[in-house]
Amino acid sequence: MLHNNVIARAANRIYSFYCFFEKMIVLNKIQRPNPLDKDAPKKFYVSASSTGSVDLEEMSVNISERCTITEPDVLAVLSALTSEMTKQLMDGKIVRFGSFGSFQLGVLSHGAATEEETSRNLVKGVRVKFRPGRRISDALGALRFTLKTV
């Protein structure tokens, strides 16, 4: 039985890798100024081009087609997951999704010259930080790129 589980996990990793192997990311050319030196000549950079978006309902349909759970049940679970994730993040917890990655709150703040001047008033904002896990990292490593032609 253990042997079959190892084989199944290996097959899943190979399949996941294969699914991402042929993915091509389209890049746009963007000219930007140097934010540290406004007089410096502008440079060209590449930026990933979006191919669209997908919402929770569409993902629920896709997931339900790959398992035995109905689309409304998948949607209910994903909705509950987003609520629970928000609650846990607001409680200051790191939310770990196994090989997918983890989410954590991060604080953006102004700097203070001394420790005595440091206070909560320095907070500029809060953001959610995502750290990809092995599954995402492996997929990112397999991406290929093409430059958009005008």
Please give, one letter per residue, the 3-state secondary structure of 32-87: ECECCECCCCCEEEEEECCCCCCCHHHHHHHHHHCCCCCHHHHHHHHHHHHHHHHH
Helix (H, G, I), strand (E, B) or coil at 24: strand
Residue 4 has pLDDT above 90, yes or no: no
Rounded Cα distance, 150 and 144, in Å: 20
Residue 3: band (very low, low, confident or very high) from pLDDT cuts 50, 70, 90: low
Question: What local confidence, expressed as pLDDT, does residue 149 receive?
Answer: 79
Residue 100 CA, chain-centre distance (Å), reads: 9
Phi-psi region of 98 (alpha: psi -120 to 50; beta: other; left: phi over 0): left
Residue with more model confidence, 53 or 23: 53
- Give the H/E segment covering residue 139: helix 134-142
Q: Give the whole-angstrom CA distance, residue 54 versus residue 87.
A: 24
Phi, then psi, of 67 in degrees rounded to 5? -150, -170
Q: Are 14 and 35 in contact (CB under 8 A)?
A: no
Task: State pLDDT tens for residues 7-35.
Answer: 655 555 555 555 555 688 999 999 999 98
d(CA 119, CA 36): 28
Give the model confidence (pLDDT) of 72-110 as tens digits: 999 999 999 999 999 999 999 999 999 999 999 999 999
DSSP state of 113: S
Q: Are 71 and 60 in contact (CB under 8 A)?
A: yes
Mean pLDDT, all residues of the chain? 88
